[in-house]
A and B are shown apart, each in its own frame.
Chain A
Amino acid sequence: MEKINVLGHRLVPRHRILSEDEKKELLARYKITERDLPKILISDPMVKAIGANIGDVLEIERISPTAGISYYYRYVVEDKPTF
């Protein structure tokens, strides 16, 4: 089967890995810890495509019917425990 490049698909919004500083700023802005962020599995095709690691926070730029562009943040977590 042909491998699909998720980066080029029009239904897949833009994902970006936040820098350490941006991540700190985000957590401070919402007064939260990483645990309180929505999660995304490391096995997610998009995470693989942009090469994010466990512990990274992704910024997702979504096209919203109500707000134009809205930003969403997801914390990369492991899929299955490894020993």
Chain B
Amino acid sequence: MRYQYIPKKIGEIQFALLSPDEIRKMSATKIITADTYDDDGFPIEMGLMDPHLGVIEPGLRCKTCGKKVDECPGHFGHIDLALPVIHVGYTKKIKEFLQCTCRSCGRILLPEDKINDVKKKIEQIGNVSLRALELNPIVSEVTSMASSTKVCPHCGEPQKPITLDKPTTFREEGHKITPKEIRERLERVPNEDLILLGMNPEVARPEWMILTVLPVPPVTVRPSITLESGDRSEDDLTHKLVDVLRINQRLQENRDAGAPQLIVEDLWELLQYHITTYFDNQTSGIPPARHRSGRPLKTLAQRLKGKEGRFRSNLSGKRVNFSSRTVISPDPYISINEVGIPKEVAMELTVPVRVNEFNIEYAKKLVLKGPDVHPGANYLIRPDGQRLRITERNKETLAERVDIGWVVERHVVDGDIVLFNRQPSLHRMSMMGHEVRVMSDKTFRLNLPVCPPYNADFDGDEMNLHCLQSEEARAEAKIIMKVQEHILSPRFGGPVIGAIHDHISGIFLLTYRNPMFTREEAYYLLHKTSFKGTLPEPDKVENGVEYWGGKTIFSLLLPKDLNMEYRSSICENCSVCTKEKCEYDAYVVIRNGKLLTGTIDGASIGAFKGKLLERIVRDYGTDEGRRFLDDVTRLAITTISYLGFSTGIDEEDIPPDAQRQIDEVLQNAIKRVDELVEAYKKGLLEQMPGRSMEETLEVEIMRVLGRARDEAGQIAGRYLGLENSAVIMAKSGARGSMLNLSQMSGSIGQQAVRGERIHRGYSDRTLPHFKRGDLGAFARGFVKSSYKKGLTPIEYFFHSMGGREGLVDTAVRTSRSGYMQRRLINALEDLKVSLDRTVRNTSGGIVQFFYGEDGVDPSRSTRGDAVDYDNIIYQVMLKAEEGSK
């Protein structure tokens, strides 16, 4: 099928109004009865379900075109309205026309010479229908001038102000003008004047904005559904059309019978209401029409508008075939480039393979396997485009028939490239290319370093997978969408994909202070990696036993000519850095692919901050980057499983002596707060510049309490060393922070709402447990306890207040940034960088003359800079040093 497409280019689009004549001309039948089906269940002729309007039941033929369901596109009908009615969609334009044209002669309210000026201006633009962008400002200028004219320059008739009483009532000096009168006035506007008001007289007349005939959409647009009980349920549009017909009929009868003006007017208005709601059931100013159950009807505008409307949900976004979705779970032993997919999924998703003389045997074998054995096939496509389903029963005969030029839809197999995606798709790394690994069990498996770009975890997250169907798509995915191509992020020029959690703890344990391993251990640690070789000379021999250091083992994974120097995550930021001689083993030196000193941790290989990973990807390419990351994470996992690693609440135990110190610090701080409050009450507080006395006090108190918490944390920290698992995780950058730990063992600290101490609640106090006007630490949300010790009820309450604010903030932020993102994407989606490095939109207009003003691709920059001078100088100096030796 898809090889038969004939590409066509849209030359132009023209918008126009449907004239009553046109509506009648395209109508297959006139609709007069409000009923749909008769007692036998057959559609009534000239009713809303007239068989001329198209077919919705299989087997029947359309009375207009003779085609069957799916072939017949459906045909419009029409309703002749007893009296004209305003189309809600055009009220603004109608008002403009009434205001800009004479109430008696219909000419535009501008003097002849002005008219000619404007016409000349419009002629300059050229083809009017193609240049709306330039015509619009002229039209708005014309309307503002014409509508302020008081007397017609053509016939001298004084003009009266026109107001629109929303939604559909027009008034002239307070007197209602009926749609019929409006129509008559608009009819008088001459064709020559229309172009000045932005209407093309070749395709539209203003009086067509007042309806005299209503088109009835084909039944295919509003199919009725038959429930299991055999009852028919009609579409909302049909319901609305029934209302219109009923009132229209009554209006006709009453008018013909010469009923009083009042009754006719009432019915006329009712007809207007029904037609208005038929177009838009959310028109402001009128109650929405409701279903019998009380649910508002979904009429024309509701079908199109908003997130669930036709545009956003069926045209901009579509449901697709060859996709699948299931829960995700981790697998640390597949590559970051891979995705594990359940066998069940692999047998449902297919790749089309065109049969040629080289693969015909292979294709036949696949067909012979059938749909129920894994590397098999589900469908065959004949050269004429006919699809044949392969079943257990026909697979043999079909395999015989397979010939060159046929297409076999075979199951996905290991190595096929697919797209993998997790919503919300906020950046390009939310959809990446993975290689398939067919596995048992029913979840998608992904390697842990790709969690950060997808923002995925395994608490029940689901992800989508799309199987690519064309050679071009597969090539594109392989070259630009593969996971390894996204290790470096365009957001900050560093790695978004990198080691996380246990990987970092593991590699830390391996390299920190260089632990020693025997030959057997060393090979065990490396057995999951791609390392194929023998160990180098041992680092140490003791009692005849050879030992290799963790740093040496790690070095085996590094490129052989790598040279780097940087501080690792555990660096204490001493005032004078001792570099190689760092007493904390925090200064990393790599020479010729050998780790000499320093600890490998988050700052080396972690997601978002891994310097070493970044360098390898940048200097040695994405293939090497992927290999390194796969190997390092495997080595780390093997190490951490071999050595063992666990944590518990007793990690936060501190000696009684330390506890006493912390208590003292906190007690002093609380006392200091009381003193400050005292000083404030006596007016002795020294006011800060630009702050009131109250603010000064608050700032001072916040500072004192903040410092007290930090000090408590420091005291606790002194007793928590790197032999402590929790500290290892915090310092190496694997998970958590020292603040988390000090809150567990020291003190939780001041709780804040909107950046201030908690002060709202009861009058002049936060809780009834305090005296009015108490400004002390505890009365305003200071939590002295630690998480381990437990909170007092009052502390718990304040802590919940602070916690609640955090939750509310995230909820508000996501919805707001989501909307902002939508607006930005809609504004920027068609911009691209052209070959001359200008940024242009689809019409070729220039937005930037040089991409980003410097023409730099941020994902290839070093953290924002186009050239990494520091590194270049470092590498050159190193070379020079070597040369001098």
Which residues of A are interface residues toward B (Cβ below 8 A)? 30, 32, 35-38, 62, 64, 66-67, 70-73, 80-81, 83
Contact A83 B846 (CB under 8 A): no
**Complex Cα distance A9/B856, Å?**
30
Contact A67 B853 (CB under 8 A): yes
Contact A66 B854 (CB under 8 A): yes
Is residue B515 within 8 Å, beta carbon to beta carbon, of the partner chain? no
Contact B141 A83 (CB under 8 A): yes
4 pairs of A and B residues whose beta carbons are closest in the complex: A67-B854, A70-B853, A66-B854, A83-B117
Residues of A within 8 A of B843 (CB): 36
Is residue B820 within 8 Å, beta carbon to beta carbon, of the partner chain? no
Contact B845 A70 (CB under 8 A): no
* CB contacts between A and B, total, < 8 Å: 48
**Complex Cα distance A74/B118, Å?**
27
Residues of A within 8 A of B844 (CB): 32, 36
Contact B854 A70 (CB under 8 A): yes
Mark each residue of chain B from 830 to 848: 1 if its CB lies under 8 Å from any CB of chain A, else 0: 0000001010100111110
CB B675 to nearest CB in A, in angstroms, measures 47
Residues of A within 8 A of B849 (CB): 30, 70-73
Q: What 13 additional pairs, Cβ within 8 angstroms, besides A36-B840, A66-B854, A83-B117?
A: A30-B846, A30-B849, A35-B845, A36-B843, A37-B845, A38-B847, A66-B853, A66-B856, A67-B853, A70-B849, A81-B121, A81-B141, A83-B121
Residues of A within 8 A of B118 (CB): 83
Contact A30 B836 (CB under 8 A): yes
CB B326 to nearest CB in A, in angstroms, measures 43
CB A78 to nearest CB in B, in angstroms, measures 9
Is residue B768 within 8 Å, beta carbon to beta carbon, of the partner chain? no
Mark each residue of chain B from 642 to 678: 1 if its CB lies under 8 Å from any CB of chain A, else 0: 0000000000000000000000000000000000000
Which residues of B are interface residues toward A (Cβ below 8 A)? 114, 117-118, 121, 137-138, 141, 836, 838, 840, 843-847, 849-850, 852-856, 864
Contact of B138 among A66, A72, A73, A81 (CB under 8 A): A81
Contact A64 B853 (CB under 8 A): yes
Residues of A within 8 A of B864 (CB): 66
**Complex Cα distance A73/B855, Å?**
17
Residues of B within 8 A of A70 (CB): 849-850, 853-854
CB pairs A–B below 8 angstroms (13 shown): A30-B836, A30-B846, A36-B845, A37-B845, A37-B846, A64-B853, A64-B854, A66-B852, A70-B849, A70-B853, A71-B849, A80-B137, A83-B118
Contact A36 B846 (CB under 8 A): yes
Residues of A within 8 A of B836 (CB): 30
**Complex Cα distance A70/B852, Å?**
10
Contact B137 A81 (CB under 8 A): yes
CB B454 to nearest CB in A, in angstroms, measures 29
**Complex Cα distance A72/B850, Å?**
9
Nearest A residue to B845 by beta-carbon distance? A36
Residues of B within 8 A of A73 (CB): 849
CB B118 to nearest CB in A, in angstroms, measures 6
Nearest B residue to A73 by beta-carbon distance? B849
**Complex Cα distance A5/B141, Å?**
31
Contact A30 B838 (CB under 8 A): yes
Residues of A within 8 A of B850 (CB): 67, 70
**Complex Cα distance A64/B846, Å?**
18
Nearest A residue to B116 by beta-carbon distance? A83
**Complex Cα distance A30/B844, Å?**
10
**Complex Cα distance A59/B284, Å?**
49
Known: A81-B121, A83-B114. A32 touches B853 (CB 8 A): no
Contact of A80 among B141, B847, B853 (CB under 8 A): B141
**Complex Cα distance A30/B835, Å?**
11
CB A81 to nearest CB in B, in angstroms, measures 5
Nearest A residue to B118 by beta-carbon distance? A83
**Complex Cα distance A76/B840, Å?**
19
Which of A62, A73, A80 has its CB near the most chain B CB atoms (within 10 A)?
A80
**Complex Cα distance A24/B27, Å?**
56
**Complex Cα distance A37/B843, Å?**
11
Nearest B residue to A38 by beta-carbon distance? B846
CB A14 to nearest CB in B, in angstroms, measures 16
**Complex Cα distance A81/B846, Å?**
24
Residues of B within 8 A of A32 (CB): 844, 846
Residues of A within 8 A of B854 (CB): 64, 66-67, 70
**Complex Cα distance A56/B849, Å?**
18
Nearest B residue to A67 by beta-carbon distance? B854
Contact B853 A62 (CB under 8 A): yes
**Complex Cα distance A21/B840, Å?**
24
**Complex Cα distance A78/B844, Å?**
21
Residues of A within 8 A of B137 (CB): 80-81
**Complex Cα distance A70/B864, Å?**
17
CB A23 to nearest CB in B, in angstroms, measures 14
**Complex Cα distance A62/B854, Å?**
12
Nearest A residue to B134 by beta-carbon distance? A81
Nearest B residue to A35 by beta-carbon distance? B845
**Complex Cα distance A32/B853, Å?**
19
Residues of A within 8 A of B840 (CB): 36
**Complex Cα distance A80/B139, Å?**
11
**Complex Cα distance A13/B490, Å?**
29
Nearest B residue to A31 by beta-carbon distance? B836
**Complex Cα distance A30/B840, Å?**
11
